[in-house]
Amino acid sequence: MIEERKDRLSVEESKIIKARQESRASIMGYVLLALALLCFAGTIVKIGLLS
């Protein structure tokens, strides 16, 4: 007899979780890009002020 495991996710649940993870990953990518641009802009302003 084959026993059905209760701890596995269904295909629909897996797709929902993957979509959430991808959404979170894109948001984190945009946040990191914004932080990098902010640091770059701050560096340019400091260099401009010192010259």
pLDDT per residue rounded down to tens, the chain (51 residues): 565 666 788 999 999 999 999 999 999 999 999 999 999 999 999 998 777
Q: How many structural domains comprise the chain?
A: 1
Q: Which domain holds residue 51?
A: 22-51
pTM (two decimals): 0.69
Q: Is residue 39 part of a domain?
A: yes
Residue 18 sits at φ, ψ, to 5 deg, of -65, -40
Q: Are 7 and 14 in contact (CB under 8 A)?
A: no
> What is the model's pLDDT at position 7?
75
Q: Is residue 49 part of a domain?
A: yes
Q: Give every CB contact of residue 9 below 8 A, 6+ residues apart in sequence.
A: 17
